[in-house]
Structure 1
């Protein structure tokens, strides 16, 4: 006779869950080079699927429709990279001047520290050298993540093409692997997952364009050099939930420090970015990005950090849509509904313990 885990004591259930999580994390970490490109491809295939279906309505073969849809997407991405590359060429022309200016500012800062705190310049250089030495491992990890991201770019087209081509086969497998009485739930999960992924990715792209325009406009008005380039980079960093926006502020502040005298421009940049972040977090994200991906802020930050720990930069981008898919699945399975509520953004007005306490008081009052 089979023994169900849910009939076992709590410590047995928790041990089984922890062992399962450890095994899952180990598999995900071991197969990073395979799973990360496949995950990106799956999300992008869901995004391109409506375009491929629309092209098929014009009597095009499925393979040709998929190829045309991918070609359109590649052209759009190439146009964006071309625009950014022209801005980066201009930035490269001024790099020697910026390096010289940065050296002057660095020397003045060292003299100020020596005069204010009594730390000799040689001692400061030694401290900086030690700090750089200690950060080599972190830099190496970051570079490794970037190299892995570049590797993803070459695998993505292949994966996307075959995922779209074999979509009917994959869907049939998902329906057949579950019992027939669960077909309705499977259909609902697949439909909501597709809608959530499409809504999230399209929303992110729209948000990125709006934030890039606001960043660039603010920097150009403040007279910061290469405002368009820095504004676009800031918008790309802003795709990393909650953390990217903070990192993006450092770039224009550093550029203003190197190219401008005084500190009024830096203060203006900080104020402008705070206003932009307020608009982004309170207007753009709720109305554009989070229409179907209802993950609360606490869980968003936690899963982004966990994604970074597991898969680096790629994990930070994949974490939110991945958890959104999990929430859709959790909400459809009775035993996992509490986990779905934990991930969600609906805050109950009263907790269960309070309700049970009130019931107990009423019961005691009646008995008396």
Structure 2
């Protein structure tokens, strides 16, 4: 067994380029895994800098504006949009969330009355004991969820100072990341191993894909959220902003997110409209929008940038989401693409022998 491991190590790690790539990947994993809470403002700034680099390049190369002026215009626009979201959309979102929690008892009672009628209509399938057991369990879950929500709200109030610090530091770091990108990359490269040709090859392949993925995913969230909001407004569904935001963010979790977000949409619709033609028309429009997202919008935005099997994507979401939470879910697909690029670029036994 030991001899077999030695042979495998000699085949895969005898190339200095492979060792350099392995060292860089191991170092990045350790830093992000153990110090992500400390580096969170920097990581957020890097993500947003990738997002804003494209409009800066457009203003600089196509319009002919000086790069510093382009950065100031793009960053100012971004800050303005962020302030609009914080002071206009977020209060409405909070209000609709409070209203939804206020209506939950009525929804729960309506569901209880409906389920109590099932033993009369289907006595061979459902009995009153089963209904009582289900509702006792559901009541306990709702109470536990309410306690968790209160604790989370208190924790959020305690983190207002942290949010204030982020609000100041992140735009500042974005400015310097875009303005001094080349100098920062050159300075960072001095701390990397000398044998990094293989790592540079993988990085060049991934840099464009990660940037395109960030822009494409944020654009997908915006488009899906706006279209869903219009559909909900058209049918007069309650809590349209809250539900459309949930639908927009559901695209972060491929396949699974679309299924999960359909549940609250269907529940709110059935309690508001009942099993009526309006309910079915609403659900039909919603399902069509989801199908168009998966079969038209996603291929258009991402093209061949992400060529992964659906099973690999789901496994990547589970693994990286478990490691890094929200950001792990957000970057699950590019991280899986990175793993694929590393595996494809890793020198095989034959390549090492030729060298």
Is the pair's TM-score, using the shorter chain for normalization, greater than 0.5? yes
Partner of 2:49: 45
Q: Cα deviation per residue 1:190-231 (whole Å; 9 max; x = unaligned)? A: 444332123212222332233234323433444423435523
1:206 counterpart = 2:219: yes
- The reply to whether residue 169 of structure 1 matches residue 173 of structure 2 is no
CA distance, structure 2, for counterparts of residue 94 and residue 137 of structure 1:
17
Alignment partner of 2:137 out of 127, 130, 133:
127
List alignment gaps of at least 5 residues for structure 1.
337-368
1:23 and 1:180 map into 2 onto residues whose CA distance is 15
The alignment of Structure 1 onto Structure 2 pairs a total of residues equal to 326
After superposition, the Cα gap between the structure-2 partners of 1:265 and 1:82, relative to the gap in structure 1 and judged at 3 Å, is farther
Alpha carbons of structure 1 residues 324 and 44: separation in structure 2 relative to 1, 3 Å: farther
Question: Counterpart of 2:352?
Answer: none
Q: 2-side partners of 1:322 and 1:106: how far apart?
A: 42
Provide the TM-score with structure 1 as the length reference: 0.68
Residue 331 of structure 2 aligns to a residue in which SS? helix
Please report how far the alpha carbon of residue 288 of structure 1 lies from its aligned counterpart in structure 2 after TM superposition. 1.0
Tell whether the 8 Å contact from 2:33 to 2:323 is kept in structure 1 after alignment.
yes
The two structures, once aligned, show a CA RMSD in angstroms of: 4.7
Deviations 1:8-37 (A, max 9, x none): 2349999xx9xx999986764432303444
With the length of structure 2 as denominator, give the TM-score of the two structures: 0.70
State the partner residue of 2:197: 182
Q: Distance in 2 between matches of 1:143 and 1:9?
A: 55
2: distance between equivalents of 1:7 and 1:54? 51
Do the aligned partners of 1:208 and 1:236 also contact (CA within 8 Å) in 2?
yes
Aligned counterpart, 2:6? 8
- Partner-residue secondary structure (3-state), 2:212: helix
Tell me the residue number matched to 2:127. Answer: 117
Conserved in 2, the CA contact under 8 Å of 1:98 and 1:259? no
How big is the shift at 1:109? 4.0
- 1:72 corresponds to 2:70: no
Contact 2:93–2:241 at 8 Å: present in 1 too? no
Shift of 1:7: 8.5
Distance (whole Å) between structure 2 residues aligned to residue 236 and residue 317 of structure 1: 10
Q: Give the 3 Å change call, closer, same or farther, for CA 78–107 of structure 1 in structure 2.
A: same
Q: Which has the higher relative contact order, 1 or 2, with Cα contacts under 8 A spaced 6 or more apart?
A: 2
Structure 1 position 34 matched with structure 2 position 34: no
Q: Are residues 1:104 and 2:117 paired?
A: no
Following superposition, the deviation at residue 182 of structure 1 comes to 2.9
Q: Check whether the contact 1:215–1:234 (CA below 8 A) recurs between aligned residues.
A: yes
* Structure 1 runs of 4+ with >6 Å offset: 11-14, 20-26, 133-150
For structure 2, list consecutive stretches of 5 or more residues without a partner in the other structure.
Answer: 13-18, 121-125, 350-355
SS of the equivalent of 1:251 reads: helix
Mapped to 1, the partners of 2:342 and 2:187 lie a distance apart of 17
Partner residue, 1:236: 249
Indicate which of 244, 247, 254 corresponds to 2:260. Answer: 247
1:308 alignment counterpart? 321
Q: 2: distance between equivalents of 1:167 and 1:266? A: 52
Compare 122-131 and 204-213 and name the one that shifted more.
122-131
**2:270–2:279: 8 Å Cα contact kept in structure 1?**
yes
1:91 paired residue number: 96
Deviation for aligned residue 1:271: 3.3
